[in-house]
Amino acid sequence: MLIKRVLMIFFFFLSSAASHANTPANDPGDAAISSGAPHIPEPMVFDLVRPLGVKQGEAEANVLVSHSLRNGFTEWAPEFEFSFLDDYAIEFELPFDNLSLSEYKLGLQGTIGTLFSNHFIHGWQILFYHDRHQQKYSADWLYLAGYRWSTGISTFNMLGLRRDDFEKNGKYVGVFNTSVFYDYSEKLTLGIELNTEFEEHSHWKYLLTPQIHWDFNQNATLQFGLGASQTDGKNTEWSGTWRMVYAF
């Protein structure tokens, strides 16, 4: 019910505000972390290895921080992203639990191309993880697709599988993430992001995060959101999340 209510409110806002949008489809707003053609912002929580359609030599440094409003637990992760060829990028990330380094993360991403008069862009992403505490390796394989619906509204989706452990007792987890964005102005983007995981025995996890993206300039962007998550089907957790991005 929580997801349904939040989505209904958000989509009502989008439908009423879309007629006032004044940002062109290829506007450089949110430029630090968005694709160029079509212009589609990146999700905050599950971001990309640089935008799809990235150009060789572009780079980005950012840090994501998520703070539990219930128990004060903080997860944060600095990362560096670099495009070594047109349409291809690599990232290195160091996730922390409070002050303890929990994982090493390596990501690879490629762009397949655009369709529908540059309104649609798609690609792929592979993420590798090494859990330092449990001494295990895992990986994600994802298909990425974004669509610019109008001058103000765009969507971005990720669909794939996660192998949670490369050992014999590891299992596969379905991953689906979807985001909707509204470009309120050249500097301000409003969005809502839903990250979901589907495990065995119909075990479903989700994180729903309404968010705001603010561009200070063409290089620096701040994202902020308040998220609701559920991992056991009963208790809802709340967290404040922000990401600071600098592209160069």
pLDDT of residue 17 exceeding 90: no
Ordered structural domains, the chain, with CATH: 2-247 (2.40.160.40)
pLDDT of residue 5 exceeding 70: no
For 151-203, what is each residue's pLDDT tens digit? 999 999 999 999 999 988 889 999 999 999 999 999 999 999 999 999 877 67
**For position 231, what pLDDT does the model report?**
72
| Backbone dihedral angles phi then psi of residue 79, each to the nearest 5 degrees | -150, 155
| Backbone dihedral angles phi then psi of residue 20, each to the nearest 5 degrees | -100, 0
pLDDT of residue 20 exceeding 80: no
The CB-side HSE value for 17 (13 A sphere, CA atoms) comes to 19
| Backbone dihedral angles phi then psi of residue 45, each to the nearest 5 degrees | -75, -50
The CB-side HSE value for 238 (13 A sphere, CA atoms) comes to 4
In 3D, which of 142, 143, 145, 144 has the Cα closest to residue 120?
Answer: 145
